[in-house]
């Protein structure tokens, strides 16, 4: 496979002003006619170089240049390109190709899912549809005609507005769509199927009426209201917060069952994984409801951050993704609990993105090389990219950030631009120099920030010393200092925030400040500090770094109670838990008796007993750091010790806190019983505390807890309570009850694919012994198929990613199993195969015996035959 470098970027030789497509859909093939109105790029010389169109897996039937039929002597064909020599600066190419969506299992380009035709063109899927300049800086006006069997495919959709339709002989019909906005091919979409829709309206800022439609298979029509509500909220929020209005007369979302990612922002016609659209109380959890809201918002927000202004090349992917994730995170924070949203995002980032940043695939937010761009739809591009945007927001403040965003959209509307262009707009609007800040785009790796303190009682000064560093990552051994915004406060002995005055300032201002750490070593001195304060550092997680400060456990307990920053109260609890768990891990490794520090019990008891606290916060604080996070922060991860220590702590907490947990559980369950399901923050909060309490309580194995679990399982009216009860049973020693519940669940929901995904996941994640055998048996279940990415993720992905003790079985059988699946999937769906691989690439985290077993499986994959570029890149880089 070939590596592509950012430094090799060149503007396109030719442009495509207009693209006219006609699709004739049949059961055993599809014909694609493309008329491309092209011209030499006027920015370049007048010479006419060879034109090289991208095209893969296309059967060329006919091609003309300005109405002249070309013969094989006029062009060259390879498995990835069609090249020919234009003779004039402006010309029209007409081509007809035959493709096979009906056998497309890679789910890239045009494919069939549950009997409907749909597309996924980002990043490079359009070249599997027709010969084209498949690059984001070639933007064109599209007209699309779709023709198909009227009965099988009554609904025919593409981007933009419908302009004509009609019937054909042979029971066929057609529809033509026109998209008035120029767009790159990756935003093209087509859908044909037997779909129903829910329709609504939205009136924009400037009083234009927009038709909103969500298309689903008929049996799912009762599960779209939540997505529609989310869409309307998103449209309003983007007008209010960013001044962005929708620009077509119609906005459509289509749900499909087989989809590699979450969803896709095609202009005017978003295509979604059904798991990110369908939600109703009986079938979707609270988390699923929140994900639907977030993904609907994310894709909608792309209409500006991605579509109106797009990426020049795929190295700039975070330009649209980092920005849009930041936008959707702020939207979710405004719709629900801001602190809880931040806690969830940070926990996710630190567990998964930090691991990626420390692994063989580490890359900067703006990478400078790739083999297969599909491998770069990563946590770094999305989540760290969003953190970079958040830091710009923090450094500029809300007003200047908005000015910068307005300038960016105004300056670049209709263009394909770079991350530098974005930062430039932010600089120009704010007057703030972001030159050094831009290292966040170019340097990979998670910076470390070590902080120490010095209090001088006589001078009444308090100094914080910061030392930053960043570990080497592939291709980058030395890093320059980052700009790290550190939001902080200083607490006095009663827990109040002190007024903050830095040396050299005339007066104190504020009690929470943002310091910019820009040097490798840097100190800040606060004056007028009468007593030794306790610092609250990196409030709201103001930068994606690993911060260390030598807090002792009593200080962490103090911060848990008093910090005015909600995020840092949670963070203090996490740090306390990490210290306690690491102590237990050490005891386990030395073969000593495990002894839980009672301070953790005391701290959690006081949270449980305080009825005034936000219940969602209490639930978050009761959640111990996960095994994957404990792995990430270990030098050498000891799988059994991590699992053993964490389970021991949970067991001890369950027993010591039985009374308050039982009380909170019963009180909340009572309210849940008497309240119809509502997908709102306060209700999420109640159920989350209720459910985490139940999962602790079951560890005691008391009969009244079993009875309560069965009652909740059977009598609840929503999937959040039902699935928790099922998960609790699945992880319990009550074998008969577990079997009965699993069977009843599958019987009841066997026709609902998304619910069955959860049924698979709950079992895949069970840490009881025999996990691999259970997963292998479940692969034989009639509801399972390797062809559906959601199923693969729900069963195999959940097993390898979440069930660490079972996946990392010392005999290597988990690794062998995963490698087998990767080898099979490599031929079916390279993107999914490559993503499934991630756990094996982390072999450096483990002791020698496991390293050898994991590497052997990677080598076996490498030797297994013809590998897709996707799998080859990840395997070869992780063995390098």
| Residue 570 C-beta: closest distance to Zn ion, Å | 27
Report which of 616, 540, 239 is spatially closest to residue 387, judged by C-alpha positions: 540
| Residue 149 C-beta: closest distance to Zn ion, Å | 33
Number of Cβ within a 10 Å radius of residue 671:
12
Of 299, 356, 632, 857, the active-site residue reads: 299
Number of Cβ within a 10 Å radius of residue 460:
13
| Residue 659 C-beta: closest distance to Zn ion, Å | 46
Query: CB under 6 A: which stretch of 146-154, 258-266, 357-365, 441-449 binds ligand GLU?
Result: 258-266
> In terms of CB distance, is 441 or 784 closer to Zn ion?
441
Which entry of Zn ion, ligand GLU, none binds 721, CB below 5 to 8 A by partner kind?
A: none
> Is residue 265 close enough to count as binding ligand GLU by CB under 6 A?
yes
Number of Cβ within a 10 Å radius of residue 1:
14
Which entry of Zn ion, ligand GLU, none binds 261, CB below 5 to 8 A by partner kind?
A: ligand GLU
Query: CB under 6 A: which stretch of 222-230, 263-271, 673-681, 778-786 binds ligand GLU?
Result: 263-271
> In terms of CB distance, is 263 or 619 closer to ligand GLU?
263
| Residue 168 C-beta: closest distance to Zn ion, Å | 37
> In terms of CB distance, is 324 or 418 closer to Zn ion?
324
Which entry of Zn ion, ligand GLU, none binds 264, CB below 5 to 8 A by partner kind?
A: ligand GLU
Number of Cβ within a 10 Å radius of residue 504:
7
| Residue 261 C-beta: closest distance to ligand GLU, Å | 3
Pick out residues in 373-402 that bind ligand GLU (CB under 6 A): 377
> In terms of CB distance, is 309 or 719 closer to ligand GLU?
309
Candidates 299, 387, 487, 632: give the one binding ligand GLU (CB under 6 A). 299
CA distance 662 to 308: 53
Candidates 321, 328, 357, 632: give the one binding ligand GLU (CB under 6 A). 321
Answer for the pair 689, 620: CB distance below 8 angstroms, yes or no: no
Secondary structure (DSSP) of 656-696: HTHHHHHHHHHHHHHHHHTS----SHHHHHHHHHHHHHHHH
> In terms of CB distance, is 131 or 272 closer to Zn ion?
272
Residue 116 pairs in a beta bridge with 113
The mark string for 265-304 relative to Zn ion (x by CB under 5 A, - otherwise) is ----------------------------------------
DSSP category for residue 7: G
Is 735 a residue of the active site? no
Question: The tokens of 671 are what?
Answer: 């309210």
| Residue 302 C-beta: closest distance to Zn ion, Å | 6
| Residue 320 C-beta: closest distance to ligand GLU, Å | 7
The mark string for 428-457 relative to ligand GLU (x by CB under 6 A, - otherwise) is ------------------------------
Give the residue nearest to ligand GLU (CB).
261
Count residues near ligand GLU (CB under 6 A).
Answer: 10
The mark string for 320-339 relative to Zn ion (x by CB under 5 A, - otherwise) is -x--x---------------
> In terms of CB distance, is 328 or 372 closer to Zn ion?
328
Which entry of Zn ion, ligand GLU, none binds 446, CB below 5 to 8 A by partner kind?
A: none
CA distances (Å), origin 740, targets 713, 731, 737: 11, 14, 5
> In terms of CB distance, is 299 or 721 closer to ligand GLU?
299
| Residue 550 C-beta: closest distance to ligand GLU, Å | 40
> In terms of CB distance, is 272 or 713 closer to ligand GLU?
272
CA distance 7 to 660: 61
DSSP category for residue 498: P
> In terms of CB distance, is 147 or 318 closer to ligand GLU?
318
Question: The tokens of 54 are what?
Answer: 């991208």
Question: Which 3 state secondary structure label does DSSP give 788?
Answer: coil
Secondary structure (DSSP) of 527-544: ES--S--EEE-STT--SS
Answer for the pair 274, 754: CB distance below 8 angstroms, yes or no: yes
Pick out residues in 161-200 that bind ligand GLU (CB under 6 A): none
Question: Long-range contacts of range 774-780, CB-CB < 8 Å, 24 or more positions apart?
Answer: 775/799, 775/817, 776/817
**Pairing of β 172-183 and β 161-168:** antiparallel
Query: CB under 6 A: which stretch of 30-38, 261-269, 518-526, 724-732 binds ligand GLU?
Result: 261-269
Candidates 224, 256, 264, 309: give the one binding ligand GLU (CB under 6 A). 264
Residue 464 pairs in a beta bridge with 453, 524
CA distance 101 to 130: 13
**Cα end-to-end span (Å), the chain:** 15
| Residue 119 C-beta: closest distance to ligand GLU, Å | 11
Answer for the pair 599, 554: CB distance below 8 angstroms, yes or no: yes
Query: CB under 6 A: which stretch of 260-268, 465-473, 583-591, 860-868 binds ligand GLU?
Result: 260-268
**Pairing of β 269-273 and β 310-311:** unpaired
Q: Angle 225-242/286-301 helices, nearest 10 degrees?
A: 50
Task: Kindly list the strands in the beta sheet with 116-120, ordered across the sheet, starting from the edge strand earlier in the chain.
Answer: 109-113, 116-120, 190-193, 155-158
Query: CB under 5 A: which stretch of 269-277, 313-321, 334-342, 410-418 binds Zn ion?
Result: 313-321
Structure-token match 């926990």, residue found: 347
CA distance 424 to 433: 9
CA distance 734 to 756: 22
Candidates 122, 345, 372, 873: give the one binding ligand GLU (CB under 6 A). 122
| Residue 610 C-beta: closest distance to Zn ion, Å | 39
Number of Cβ within a 10 Å radius of residue 444:
24
| Residue 324 C-beta: closest distance to Zn ion, Å | 5
Could you check whether the bond before residue 635 is cis, i.e. omega within 30 degrees of 0?
no
Query: CB under 6 A: which stretch of 242-250, 262-270, 397-405, 652-660 binds ligand GLU?
Result: 262-270
Q: List residues binding ligand GLU (CB under 6 A).
A: 120, 122, 261, 263-265, 298-299, 321, 377
- Supply the residues annotated as catalytic: 299
Q: List residues binding Zn ion (CB under 5 A).
A: 321, 324
């Amino acid at each position: 496979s070939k590596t592509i470098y950012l430094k090799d970027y060149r503007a396109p030789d030719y442009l495509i002003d207009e693209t006219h497509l006609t699709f004739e859909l049949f059961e055993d093939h599809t014909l694609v006619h493309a008329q491309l109105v092209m011209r030499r790029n006027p920015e370049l010389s007048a010479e006419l170089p060879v034109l090289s169109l991208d095209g893969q897996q296309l059967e060329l039937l006919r091609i003309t240049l300005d109405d002249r039929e070309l013969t094989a002597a006029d062009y060259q064909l390879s498995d990835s390109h069609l090249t020919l020599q234009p003779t004039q600066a402006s010309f029209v190419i007409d081509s007809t190709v035959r493709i096979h969506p009906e056998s497309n299992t890679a789910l890239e380009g045009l494919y069939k899912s549950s009997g409907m035709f749909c597309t996924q063109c980002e990043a490079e899927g359009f070249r599997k549809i027709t010969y084209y300049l498949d690059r984001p800086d070639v933007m064109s006006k599209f007209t699309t005609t779709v023709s198909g069997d009227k009965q099988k495919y009554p609904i025919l959709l593409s981007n933009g507005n419908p302009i004509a339709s009609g019937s054909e002989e042979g029971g066929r019909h057609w529809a033509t769509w026109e998209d008035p906005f120029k767009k790159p091919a990756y935003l093209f979409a087509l859908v044909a199927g037997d779909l129903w829709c829910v329709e609504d309206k939205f009136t924009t800022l400037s009083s234009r009426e927009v038709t909103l439609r969500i298309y689903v298979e008929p049996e799912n029509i009762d599960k779209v209201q939540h997505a529609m509500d989310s869409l309307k909220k998103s449209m309003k929020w983007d007008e209010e917060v960013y001044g962005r209005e929708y620009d077509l007369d119609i906005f459509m979302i289509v749900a499909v069952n087989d989809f590699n990612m979450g969803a896709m922002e095609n202009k005017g016609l978003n295509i979604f994984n059904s798991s990110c659209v369908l939600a109703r109380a009986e079938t979707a959890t609270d988390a699923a409801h929140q994900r639907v809201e977030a993904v609907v918002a994310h894709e909608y927000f792309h209409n500006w951050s991605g579509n109106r202004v797009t990426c020049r090349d795929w190295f700039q992917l975070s330009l649209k993704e980092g920005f849009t994730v930041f936008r959707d995170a702020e939207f979710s924070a405004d719709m629900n609990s801001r602190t809880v949203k931040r806690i969830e995002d940070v926990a996710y980032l630190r567990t998964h993105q930090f691991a990626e940043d420390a692994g063989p695939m580490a890359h900067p937010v703006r990478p400078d090389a790739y083999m297969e761009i599909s491998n770069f739809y990563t946590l770094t591009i999305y989540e760290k990219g969003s953190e970079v945007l958040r830091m710009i927001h923090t450094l500029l403040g809300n007003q200047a950030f908005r000015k910068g965003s307005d300038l960016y959209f105004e300056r670049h509307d209709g263009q394909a631009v770079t991350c530098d262009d974005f930062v430039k707009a932010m600089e120009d609007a704010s007057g703030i120099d972001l030159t050094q800040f831009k290292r966040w785009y170019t340097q990979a790796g998670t910076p470390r920030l070590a902080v120490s303190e010095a209090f001088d009682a006589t001078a009444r000064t308090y100094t914080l010393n910061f030392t930053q560093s960043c570990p080497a990552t592939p291709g980058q051994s030395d890093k320059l200092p980052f700009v790290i915004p550190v939001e902080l406060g200083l607490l006095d002995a009663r827990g109040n925030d002190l007024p903050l005055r830095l040396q050299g300032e005339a007066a104190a201002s504020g009690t929470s400040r943002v310091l910019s750490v820009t040097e490798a070593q840097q100190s800040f001195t606060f004056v007028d500090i009468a007593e030794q304060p306790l610092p609250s550092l990196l409030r709201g997680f103001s930068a994606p770094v690993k911060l260390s400060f030598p807090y002792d456990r009593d200080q962490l307990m103090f911060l848990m109670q008093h910090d005015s920053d909600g995020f840092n109260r949670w963070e203090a609890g996490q740090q306390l838990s990490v210290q306690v768990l690491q102590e237990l891990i050490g005891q386990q490794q030395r073969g000593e008796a495990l002894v839980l520090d009672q301070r953790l019990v005391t701290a959690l008891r006081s949270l449980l007993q305080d009825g005034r606290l936000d219940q969602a916060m209490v639930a978050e604080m009761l959640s111990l750091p996960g095994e994957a996070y404990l792995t990430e922060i270990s030098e050498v991860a000891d799988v059994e010790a991590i699992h053993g220590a964490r389970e021991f702590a949970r067991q001890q907490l369950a027993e010591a806190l039985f009374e308050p947990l039982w009380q909170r559980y019963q009180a909340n369950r009572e309210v849940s019983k008497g309240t119809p399901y509502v997908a709102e923050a306060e209700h999420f909060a109640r159920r989350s505390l209720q459910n985490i309490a139940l999962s602790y309580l079951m560890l005691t194995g008391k009969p009244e807890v079993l009875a309560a679990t069965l009652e909740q399982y059977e009598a609840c009216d929503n999937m959040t309570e039902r699935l928790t009860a099922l998960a609790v049973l699945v992880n319990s020693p009550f074998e008969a009850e577990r079997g009965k519940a699993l069977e009843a669940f599958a019987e009841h929901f066997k026709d609902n694919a998304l619910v069955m995904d959860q049924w698979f996941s709950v079992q895949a994640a069970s840490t009881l012994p025999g996990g691999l055998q259970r997963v292998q048996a479940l692969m034989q279940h009639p509801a399972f198929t390797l062809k559906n990415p959601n199923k693969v993720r729900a069963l195999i992905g959940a097993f390898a990613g979440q069930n660490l003790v079972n996946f990392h079985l010392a005999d290597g059988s988990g690794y062998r199993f995963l490698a087998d699946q990767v080898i099979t999937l490599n031929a079916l769906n390279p993107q999914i195969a490559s993503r499934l691989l991630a756990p094996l690439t982390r072999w450096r985290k483990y002791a020698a015996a496991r390293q050898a077993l994991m590497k052997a499986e990677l080598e076996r994959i490498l030797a297994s035959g013809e590998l897709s570029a996707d799998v080859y890149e990840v395997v070869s880089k992780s063995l390098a």
